[in-house]
Amino acid sequence: MKTPVELTELFRERGLKVTPQRQCIFRLLHGNAAHPTAEAVYAAARAEMPTISLKTVYQTLNDLAEMGELHVLDLGTGSGRFDPNVDAHHHLVCDRCGKVRDLHVDFPDVRVPRGKAQGFRILDTEVVFRGICDECQTEDETDKEKAHA
């Protein structure tokens, strides 16, 4: 994702308003690897700007997605996630807590065989690995130790 300064310039070039609220959202997303929901971005933005609206957050996130500056992810965790990392990568998803992490690995042979795309023109491929994150595994071990104590 571009820097907050670059995003400000991009919005201006496209004739979109650049407000302090939007600049706050740009800052919150820059370098954010947590794949936040709109609600999480809203909560963080409200800590800085109590008058920001959820509508402003959604509109800004959707504008950024339309510009290709972030990806909207539906990973089956209950809420859409926003990924500021627009470089090619895959994801790890914790089935217990919903945490999402980037996974940078190359799968050069993952593709739909010729003639099997059922009318689709494939634009992108993403592999999602599901499991239990290290923090949830540690909680499991702690719970087991307490049960045996």
Residue 117 lies in a domain: yes
**Could you read off the pLDDT of 40-79 as tens digits, one per residue?**
999 999 999 999 999 999 999 999 999 999 999 988 777 8
Residue 1 DSSP label: -
Residue 79 phi, psi dihedral angles, 5° rounding? -135, 150
**Could you read off the pLDDT of 79-134 as tens digits, one per residue?**
889 999 998 899 999 999 989 999 998 887 777 666 667 787 777 778 899 999 99
Answer whether 37's CB lies under 8 Å from 82's CB.
yes
Check which CATH number belongs to the domain holding 141 and give it.
Answer: 3.30.1490.190
Check which CATH number belongs to the domain holding 37 and give it.
Answer: 1.10.10.10
Report the chain's C-alpha Rg in angstroms: 19
Domain end, chosen from 42, 73, 104, is at 73
Residue 35 lies in a domain: yes
Q: Which 3-state string (H, E, C) describes 76-132? A: CCCCCEEECCCCCCEEEEECCCCCEEEECCCCCCCCCCCCCCCCCCCCCCCCEEEEC
